[in-house]
Amino acid sequence: MKEVKKHTGFGFVVKSLVSGLGLTWRHFKNARNRRTPEYVSDENYFKQPDGMATLKYPYEALPVPDNGRYRLHNEIDDCIVCDLCAKVCPVNCITIESVKATEEIGMTSDGTKKRLYAPVFDIDMAKCCYCGLCTTVCPTDCLTMTPVYDFAEVDIKNMVYHFTDLTPEQSEEKKQLLAKQQEEMAAAKAAALAARKKD
């Protein structure tokens, strides 16, 4: 068996102590440089072995991947309130109430007609499991994952995000409009039925 060479003696100890000091001194000197917040695909990402590794987080952050799954956002102007996202959600974190509009409300940016109001469109981010299924089923691509991941709250109620663009009064008004229209339609239907019976 080969004997392991033992490093002992005054000279060796001094040498190792000095080389230790040299190491910390090198790091101290290199502390003038600091790593830059670059994306992992950047050429420089792995080429910054020297200098401070800290990023001042709230002010600087490493970019996240485009297809990463972070906080959801619903662009309510493009939403046709189809309820697909709520149906596909495995943890039921999306709550949608819909009210039929009495007339056509408008068009989404991809040209789909909007026929429903959404008095309630809530996403409970505390329940969300970030699977991203809702964004795949969304027909108008209005429900998206944003690169925001730092949204902790003190009160868990604040984790429920409300995306509706209607005030409670407005939604009440829309509901009444719909009820009125349906009443009128029912009355018209009844009248038509009565007229047909007479014949």
Partner 1 sequence: MLAFLLTLGALLGVVIALAYAERKVAAFMQDRMGPTEAGPQGSLQAVADVLKLLQKEDIVPAAADKKLFKLAPILIFAAVFAGFAVIPFSPDLIPAGIGIGVFYLLAIISLDVVGLLMAGWGSNNKYAMLGAMRSVAQIVSYEIPAGLAILSVVMVCQSLDFQEISYQQGALMNQFPGLEYEMNWLFGIEALGINTTTIGGITTWNIFRAPILLVAFVIYFIASLAESNRAPFDIPEAESELVAGFHVEYSGFRFAILFLAEYSMMVLVSLVAVILFLGSWNTPLPNIGPVALAYWTSGTPGELSSIGWGIFWLLSKTFILLFLQLQLRWTYPRLRVDQLMHLCWKVLTPVALAVVLIAGIWRLLMI
Nearest distance from C-beta of residue 42 to partner 1, angstroms: 20
Rg, Å, the chain Cα set: 31
Give the footprint of partner 1 on this chain (CB under 8 A). Answer: 17, 20-21, 23-25, 27-28, 30-31, 34, 51-54, 56
Nearest distance from C-beta of residue 28 to partner 1, angstroms: 5
Q: How many CB atoms lie within 10 A of CB 21?
A: 10
Nearest distance from C-beta of residue 17 to partner 1, angstroms: 7
Nearest distance from C-beta of residue 65 to partner 1, angstroms: 25
Instruction: Select 24 or 41, whichever has its Cβ closest to partner 1.
Output: 24
Using the structure block, give the residue that is written with the tokens 């943890």: 91
One-letter amino acid of 88: V
Q: What distances in angstroms separate CA 37 from CA 150, 158, 169, 192, one per listed residue?
A: 17, 30, 46, 70
Instruction: Select 35 or 114, whichever has its Cβ closest to partner 1.
Output: 35
Instruction: Select 31 or 193, whichever has its Cβ closest to partner 1.
Output: 31
**What token pair was written down for 104?**
């056509």
- Please tell me the distance from the alpha carbon of residue 16 to that of residue 33, in angstroms, as a whole number: 27
First-residue to last-residue Cα distance in the chain: 116
Instruction: Select 20 or 63, whichever has its Cβ closest to partner 1.
Output: 20
